[in-house]
Structure 1
Amino acid sequence: MELKLVQGDITEQEVDAVVNAANSSLLGGGGVDGAIHRRGGPEILQECRALRASRYGGGLPTGHAVATTAGRLPARWVIHTVGPVHSASEDRSELLASCYRESLRVADELGARSVAFPAISTGIYGWPMDDGARIALSTVRRTPTGVLEVRFVLFGAEAYAAFEEALREG
């Protein structure tokens, strides 16, 4: 598998699947979630509502992943995953790692060969960027998958630098 770091906008990535750092409602929100829903259009929200009406009536659990259409995005699919809120008193690292593993599992089910990830949980959910980068990269490297290219699409220079450092430390 080839790992790439890109500083930019995840909604512009021409990949098979884009991973959405969603909230459990699956109905859109802020940050990456809001950007994906806005740019992808109503088709994504329509499929998310159908998921809420069927399998995920109580919302998508933290650490799980599910796919929908990508709507108007250049990707084919959106893989929604709910990252954990960072806690200073409870180790939730395994839940964050699960987001990456489960997203790759869903990508494999779809037949996706290229996947773009954001830095899950490092925004409003407060996960420290350096630790989030370490968990993301080590989990993806250790997860058996048919995905050939994993692209980490990082919004700012701080996130890019943290992932670059974690990639070097390997």
Structure 2
Amino acid sequence: MKALLLPVLLLGLVATLQAQDDPLSLLSEEEKFTGTWYINAMVANKNPPDGKRPRKAFPTTVTALDSGILEVKTTFMFKGRCHEKKILIHKTETPGKYSAFDGKKVLYIEELPMEDYYVVYCEDQGKGFRMGKLLGRTPEQNPEALEEFRKFTQRRGLLEENIFIPQQAGPWVPHDSLGPS
């Protein structure tokens, strides 16, 4: 009996040490997703007219708040001016699934096999609008991540020809946060 106990204790110790070697294994889903992200590619089921398609993408910042809530801060151009928007997304009981705008939008956050890349997929419950974004920790393109995003696009029934790669911009101070001019 004692001879069996020693190997079991050693296996437990090895597993504990391996978990300590990989600090990400100790982080929650929300904590892994915090920080600055760059939109490397986008796809939608309905393409906006050329004049309304975002040509530039600004870095997005994600902060984990209490109880599975994430605050997403993004900057966008509208009528030639930069604007900042904050969105709170709430964790649901399903891993990787979140809701926003009182449940009107459902978001899925999927970690890709390559490090520091995620796909965020959003469905608008009322309008039938669906969009996916490839997010990376750096603004540079990663061909492997882009290929995974193409596969994701096909699985979700979105058209590959609707994928576009925005120009990286910013970080900018949003004009509406500067106060009166």
TM interval, short-chain normalised: 0.3 to 0.5
Looking at secondary structure, tell me which structure has more helix per residue. 1
Looking at secondary structure, tell me which structure has more strand per residue. 2
Give TM-score, length-normalised by structure 1.
0.37
